Chain A
Amino acid sequence: MKNRDEGMVKTYHRKKLLVSITCVILALLLISIRLLYVCVFQSSYYLEKAQKLHERERDIKALRGEILDRNGVVLASNKTVCTVSVIHSQITQPQEVIQMLVKELDITEEAARKRVEKVSSIERVKTNVDKETGDRIREYNYSGVKVDEDYKRYYPYSKLCSKVLGFTGSDNQGILGLEAKYDAYLSGTPGQILTLTDAWGVEVKNGNEERDEPEKGSNLYTSIDINIQSYAQQLAQKTLEQKQAKSVSIIVMNPENGEILAMTNEPEYDLNNPYELNSDLLISSTGTSKMDLLNNMWRNFCINDTYEPGSIFKMVTATAALETGSVTLNDHFTCGGSAIVADRKIRCHKTTGHGTQTFTQTVMNSCNPAFIEWGRRVGTERFFEYMGKLGLLEKTGIDIAGEASTIIHKQENVGEVELATMSFGQSFQITPLQMLRAASAIINGGNLVTPHFAVKSVSEADGTAVEFNYEIQSNAIEEKTSLMMKDILRQVVEDGGGKKAYLEGFSIGGKTATSQKLPRGSGKYISSFIGFSPVDNAKVIAMCLIDEPQGIYYGGTIAAPVIRELFENILPYLEIQNN
C-alpha cells in the first residue's frame, strides 16, 4: 500500500506539469514577440545591411564619345574587340582547344599549350582579338573557352592628325592630345552591374542582377577639316621625302576665330598602334630608351617645341615700327651688306647689300640691317610691349596640353646687340603656333584669337550640346596698321621673298623665314613660310615649317611653294574666290 502510494501520480504532480507547460508556452510567446520585433521593426535595417554584404559591384565600361571633324566625319570611334581566355577546370577537350587556338589566333602551339595546361582559375590567351575571330571561336563551342567582348578606341584614318587627336590607354582614358584634354566629355559614365555573391565573392547563379546602364561619352566636334588635313598631311609627307627633312609641319587656321582646320607634323604615327615606333625614328635611334623615342614620336612640334622664328618675325617688328610711328611707309634705308651694332658686325643675307630701299622693300627683301634700324627706333620697351600685344610672351591657350613657353631675355638685360638680333627674329624662341597667332592678329585687323580645335560636345543620349567659347582680344593692334601690313605682305608674295607662294588669280600675302638652328654654324636650318588669303579679308592662314632640309634651305625657295600648292587646292575647296 505504501509502495503503491509512492508510485502514484498525485494531483500536485499534474499541477506542477501544468505550471511547467504554462511557463514554456509563455517563454515561446516571449521569443515569438522578440522574433516579431526583429522581423518587422528591424527588418529594413538588417535587410539593407545584408544587401550591402551580398552585393558586389562590377563596372560596365561606358562607350567613349567619338571625335568628329567639322563635316561630321568620324576621326576617332570605338571598335568591339574580344579577349580570349581559357578556364582550366572546364576544359574537356584540351587537344582540340589547342589546335583551334593555334589556327584562329595565330599563335604557336607551344604558347597555346602553355595557356591551356596551366592550372589556374582563368588564363588569358589573347586580347584585342577582332570580333569576327571572336565569333568564330565561340562557334566551336568548346567548354572552358571564354570570349569576352570589350570596346577599344579605333581610329579609322590611323595616322591622320595623330599628334592632335592623341590616343587612349588600356582603361580607355585619354593620354595625349584632344583625347586627354576632353577626357571628361568623351569618357562618359560607366555603368554598374550589381550581382549577388556568396561569402567568398563568387557570383550566385540565377541571382537577381541589377543593371545600371553606362552612359556613352559626348561626341566632340572639332574644327578639323578632314579634306584639308589629309591634303596637308600628304603635302608634308611629300616635302619630307623630297627635302629629306627631319620633320615637316603644316598648320591651317581660320585667322578670324582661331579654328584650326589642319595641323600636321610629319612623320605622324599610327594611332591604332601608338606604342610602335615608326621606322624613320628607329633608324636614328641609338642609345636612347624606347620611352624617350616614343615621347619624341608623339611630340607636336607646332605646340610642344620652341624655335627661333627668324625673318617671319619681321612682321612683328614692322607692325611695332609702323604703329608706334617710329617709321613711316615713306622712310628709306640703305643696306650695305652689314650693320655695326656696338662692337659687332651683323651681316645681311645679301652680302653685297640691298642698296636703298623703301620701308616696304625692306620687308620684301627681308633686309636684316634695315630691321636692326627699325628695331632700334622702336626701342626695347615698346618692342616688348608689341610682343606682348601680339601674344608672343604668353601661351596661346590652345586646347591641347603641353604648350611650350616663350624663351626670351629679361627685358632689363636686353642691350643693343640683343635688340638688333631680336628685330629679325633671333635670340629668342617661341612656338610655331605663337608665331601664327601673332601673324593672324596682324592681318585680321588686330584681333588676337585663341587657336583651338574643339567646337562643341554633343551628348548622344539627350542631345544636349556644350559649345566651347574662346577668348578673342580685339584691337591688340590698330586696324590701320593691319591694313598697311596686309598690303606689305601682299607685295612680299607678289614681288618679294615670298614670290614662290604666288598663285595666279588669288590674292595671297605672306612672309618667309630661314632660321638657323642652334648652335649657329651647325648648318641646320628651319625653313618656314606663313601665307594667308584673301589679303583684304583673310579666311585662311597657313604656316609651313621644314625642319633640317637637305640641300637648299631658303624658306622662300622650299617652304613657300608648299603653301602655294596647299592653297592651290584648298582655296577653291574653301570657296575663296579668285579676284
Chain B
Amino acid sequence: MDRTRKKSVKRYFDYSLLFVTIFIAGFGLIMIYSTSSYTAQMKFGNAQYYFKKQLMFMLLGFAAMYVAYRIDYHVWHKLAFPIFICASLLVFALIPFGSEANGATRWIRFGSIGVQPADVCKPAVIMMVSSAVCSYGTKLKKFRYVMLICILTGGVEAALVFVISNNMSSAIIIFLIAFVQTFIAYPGYKIYVALTGLVAAGVGGIYAWLTNMIKGGNMTESFRLNRLLVWINPENYASDKGFQTVQALYAIGSGGLFGKGLGKSLQKLGYIPESQNDMIFSIICEEIGLFGAIFVIIVFGVMLWRIAHVAQNAPDLFGTLLVSGVFAHIAIQVVLNIAVVTNFIPNTGVSLPFISYGGTSETILLAEIGLVLNVSSKIRLES
C-alpha cells in the first residue's frame, strides 16, 4: 500500500534548467580560455592558467550543485540564521585577513584559493529572507514588517559589504536580492509602483544634473561622481577613467553583426585589462557578434524563466522564496553586467554569472542552481 502510493506520486525534475546551466557554464569556460590564454601566456607562461583554475572551480561547483540538490531545502529554514551570521563574520574577517587589490579589500586567501565574502553573502541573504518571511507569518500583511526584514537582512549585509570591502556593486546586488524577495512575499503593489516612480524620477534628475555639470565642464574629485561623468561621455575620458568602457565599446562595435570568429578578438590582447572578468561579454560580442550575444542573452532568459517556473510551482512559500532569491541574484547580475558593458549604466564591477572568471561566484551560483533543482524535485505532479 505504502509502495503503491509512493509510485503513484511523480516527482518533477527540471531537466531543461540543468541543461541550460551546463550549456552556459561550458560556454563560459570556452570564453575564459579564449579571453585569457594570450595574457596568461604572457604573464605566467601558461596559456591555460585561468582556464584550469576556472575548470577546477567549475567541477567544485557541480559537486556543490549535486550536494545542494541532494539536501532537502527545508534544512535551510533552520540553518539560515547561523549561515547568515557566518557570512557576516566572513565579511568582518576581511578586516584582519583581507588582501587588497585596486584600492578595495575583497578577498580572503586560503592558500592559493581566494574567497570573496560578498559572493558568500548572497545565498546567505537569500536563505535568511526566506526563513524570516516564513517565521513572521501573518505580520507580513503589513508593509513595515516586510521592509524591516528587507533592511535587517539584505540591508545590513549590504552595508557590511559596502563599508568593509568598499564594494558598492555587490552591496547593491545583495540589497536588491532581498528587495525582490520581499516584493514577492508582500501582497501589495501600490507601494512598489510608487517606489519605482520615485527611483525613476531620482535617476532622471541625477542624469539631467550631470549633463548640466558636463556643460559646466568641471570634473570633481569624487570617485563615484567621476564614474557617472564618464558614463555620459566615456570617450572624453578614454585614456583614464573611461578606458575600460571605451575599450569594451570598441570590442562590441568591431564585432558587428556576426563577429570576428571565436578566438579572433584583438581587444582581449591586453587592450581590455583582465578581459576574462567583468568585461567578458564585450569579447563575446567581438568574437561571435550581435547574433551570438543575443543568443547568450536568450539562453539566460530561458534559464531565468525555468527558475521562475520552479519558484511559481514550489510546494511551499519557503521554496518559492528561496528560488525567487536565486532568480533575483542571477537576473540582477546578468542585466547589470550587460548594461555596464554596453555603457547603458555607469561602470561598476558586476560579473556575468557562470561566464566571468571567478571561483567563489562560479561555485556559489552552481550550488544555488542545485538548490533550485532540489526545490523542483519536490514539486508533485498530480494527474
Shortest C-beta distance, A205 to chain B (Å), equals 10
**In the docked arrangement, what's the CA distance between A199 and B361, Å?**
29
**In the docked arrangement, what's the CA distance between A8 and B338, Å?**
36
Which chain B residues lie closer than 8 Å to A42 at the CB level?
Answer: 249, 253
**In the docked arrangement, what's the CA distance between A42 and B328, Å?**
32
* Known contacts A47-B254, A198-B38; A31/B324 CB under 8 A: no
Decide if B253 touches A9 in the complex (CB within 8 Å): no
Any chain B CB within 8 A of the CB of A24? yes
With beta carbons under 8 angstroms apart, the residue of A10, A14, A45, A204 that contacts B253 is A45
* Known contacts A7-B134, A9-B317, A32-B297; A46/B249 CB under 8 A: yes
Which chain A residues lie closer than 8 Å to B344 at the CB level?
Answer: 30-31, 34
Decide if B316 touches A9 in the complex (CB within 8 Å): yes
Which chain A residues lie closer than 8 Å to B342 at the CB level?
Answer: 31, 34-35, 38
Shortest C-beta distance, B239 to chain A (Å), equals 12
Any chain B CB within 8 A of the CB of A342? no
**In the docked arrangement, what's the CA distance between A25 and B250, Å?**
26
**In the docked arrangement, what's the CA distance between A44 and B250, Å?**
10
**In the docked arrangement, what's the CA distance between A200 and B266, Å?**
12
Number of interface residues of B (CB under 8 A): 54
- A1-22 interface with B by 8 A CB criterion: 2, 6-10, 12-14, 16-18, 20-21
Closest to A36 in B: B290
Any chain B CB within 8 A of the CB of A408? no
Which chain A residues lie closer than 8 Å to B327 at the CB level?
Answer: 17, 20-21, 24
Shortest C-beta distance, A531 to chain B (Å), equals 72
**In the docked arrangement, what's the CA distance between A34 and B331, Å?**
17
**In the docked arrangement, what's the CA distance between A6 and B42, Å?**
58
With beta carbons under 8 angstroms apart, the residue of B183, B290, B324 that contacts A35 is B290
Residue-wise, chain A 31-59 has the 8 Å CB interface mask toward B (1 for contact) of: 11011101110111111011101100000
**In the docked arrangement, what's the CA distance between A51 and B271, Å?**
12
* Known contacts A32-B297, A39-B290; A21/B308 CB under 8 A: yes
With beta carbons under 8 angstroms apart, the residue of B134, B183, B184, B256 that contacts A43 is B256
Decide if A204 touches B266 in the complex (CB within 8 Å): yes
Any chain A CB within 8 A of the CB of B305? yes
**In the docked arrangement, what's the CA distance between A35 and B187, Å?**
35
Any chain B CB within 8 A of the CB of A27? yes
Shortest C-beta distance, A130 to chain B (Å), equals 38
Any chain B CB within 8 A of the CB of A251? no
- B237-286 interface with A by 8 A CB criterion: 249-257, 266-267, 269-271, 285
Any chain B CB within 8 A of the CB of A28? yes
**In the docked arrangement, what's the CA distance between A10 and B251, Å?**
46
Decide if B304 touches A24 in the complex (CB within 8 Å): yes
Closest to A6 in B: B137
Residue-wise, chain A 106-125 has the 8 Å CB interface mask toward B (1 for contact) of: 00000000000000000000
Which chain B residues lie closer than 8 Å to A18 at the CB level?
Answer: 308, 312
Shortest C-beta distance, A201 to chain B (Å), equals 10
**In the docked arrangement, what's the CA distance between A16 and B185, Å?**
8
With beta carbons under 8 angstroms apart, the residue of A21, A27, A40, A50 that contacts B267 is A50
Any chain B CB within 8 A of the CB of A196? yes
Which chain B residues lie closer than 8 Å to A6 at the CB level?
Answer: 134, 137-138, 317
Closest to B251 in A: A50
Number of interface residues of A (CB under 8 A): 44
- B292-343 interface with A by 8 A CB criterion: 293-294, 297, 300-301, 304-305, 308, 311-312, 314-320, 324, 327-328, 331, 334-335, 338-339, 342
Max chain B C-beta neighbours (<10 A), residue from A31, A36, A53: A31
Shortest C-beta distance, B169 to chain A (Å), equals 17
Any chain A CB within 8 A of the CB of B180? yes
- B41-64 interface with A by 8 A CB criterion: 42
Any chain A CB within 8 A of the CB of B155? no
Which chain A residues lie closer than 8 Å to B252 at the CB level?
Answer: 35, 38-39, 46
Decide if B312 touches A17 in the complex (CB within 8 Å): yes
- B104-139 interface with A by 8 A CB criterion: 134, 137-138
Closest to A3 in B: B137
- A47-89 interface with B by 8 A CB criterion: 47, 49-51, 53-54
What is the interface of chain B mostly: helix, strand, loop, or mixed?
A: helix
Max chain B C-beta neighbours (<10 A), residue from A16, A25, A28: A16
Which chain A residues lie closer than 8 Å to B301 at the CB level?
Answer: 24-25, 28
**In the docked arrangement, what's the CA distance between A32 and B299, Å?**
13
Which chain A residues lie closer than 8 Å to B294 at the CB level?
Answer: 32, 35-36
Decide if A43 touches B253 in the complex (CB within 8 Å): yes
**In the docked arrangement, what's the CA distance between A8 and B313, Å?**
11
Which chain A residues lie closer than 8 Å to B331 at the CB level?
Answer: 20, 24, 27
**In the docked arrangement, what's the CA distance between A2 and B184, Å?**
20
Any chain A CB within 8 A of the CB of B289? yes
With beta carbons under 8 angstroms apart, the residue of A7, A28, A54, A197 that contacts B318 is A7
Shortest C-beta distance, B166 to chain A (Å), equals 27
Decide if B249 touches A17 in the complex (CB within 8 Å): no
With beta carbons under 8 angstroms apart, the residue of A12, A20, A31 that contacts B338 is A31
**In the docked arrangement, what's the CA distance between A45 and B294, Å?**
21
Decide if B184 touches A17 in the complex (CB within 8 Å): yes
Decide if B271 touches A7 in the complex (CB within 8 Å): no
Shortest C-beta distance, B75 to chain A (Å), equals 15
Decide if A16 touches B183 in the complex (CB within 8 Å): yes
Shortest C-beta distance, A197 to chain B (Å), equals 8
**In the docked arrangement, what's the CA distance between A6 and B187, Å?**
13
Max chain B C-beta neighbours (<10 A), residue from A18, A24, A34, A199: A24
Decide if B297 touches A54 in the complex (CB within 8 Å): no
**In the docked arrangement, what's the CA distance between A97 and B180, Å?**
70
* Known contacts A46-B253, A54-B266; A39/B289 CB under 8 A: yes
Decide if B256 touches A20 in the complex (CB within 8 Å): no
Decide if B253 touches A199 in the complex (CB within 8 Å): no
Decide if B316 touches A8 in the complex (CB within 8 Å): yes
Which chain A residues lie closer than 8 Å to B249 at the CB level?
Answer: 38, 42, 46
Shortest C-beta distance, A70 to chain B (Å), equals 55
- B2-34 interface with A by 8 A CB criterion: none
Which chain A residues lie closer than 8 Å to B187 at the CB level?
Answer: 10, 12
**In the docked arrangement, what's the CA distance between A49 and B251, Å?**
10
Which chain B residues lie closer than 8 Å to A197 at the CB level?
Answer: 269
Which chain A residues lie closer than 8 Å to B308 at the CB level?
Answer: 17-18, 20-21
Shortest C-beta distance, A445 to chain B (Å), equals 72
Shortest C-beta distance, A360 to chain B (Å), equals 86
Which chain A residues lie closer than 8 Å to B312 at the CB level?
Answer: 9, 13-14, 17-18
Shortest C-beta distance, A437 to chain B (Å), equals 62
Shortest C-beta distance, A35 to chain B (Å), equals 6
With beta carbons under 8 angstroms apart, the residue of A14, A24, A39, A44 that contacts B285 is A39
**In the docked arrangement, what's the CA distance between A302 and B318, Å?**
107
Decide if B335 touches A199 in the complex (CB within 8 Å): no
Which chain B residues lie closer than 8 Å to A30 at the CB level?
Answer: 344
A-B complex: 10 closest residue pairs judged by Cβ atoms: A46-B253, A199-B270, A198-B269, A39-B290, A50-B250, A21-B308, A50-B254, A47-B254, A16-B184, A24-B331
Question: Contacts A20-B180, A46-B250 given; 12 further ones with Cβ under 8 A?
Answer: A2-B137, A21-B305, A25-B301, A31-B338, A38-B249, A38-B342, A39-B256, A43-B253, A45-B253, A50-B254, A53-B271, A198-B266
Which A residues form the contact surface with B (CB < 8 A)? 2, 6-10, 12-14, 16-18, 20-21, 24-25, 27-28, 30-32, 34-36, 38-40, 42-47, 49-51, 53-54, 196-200, 204
Jot down 11 A-B pairs with beta carbons below 8 A, ordered by A.
A2-B137, A6-B134, A14-B312, A17-B324, A20-B324, A21-B327, A31-B335, A43-B253, A50-B267, A199-B271, A200-B42
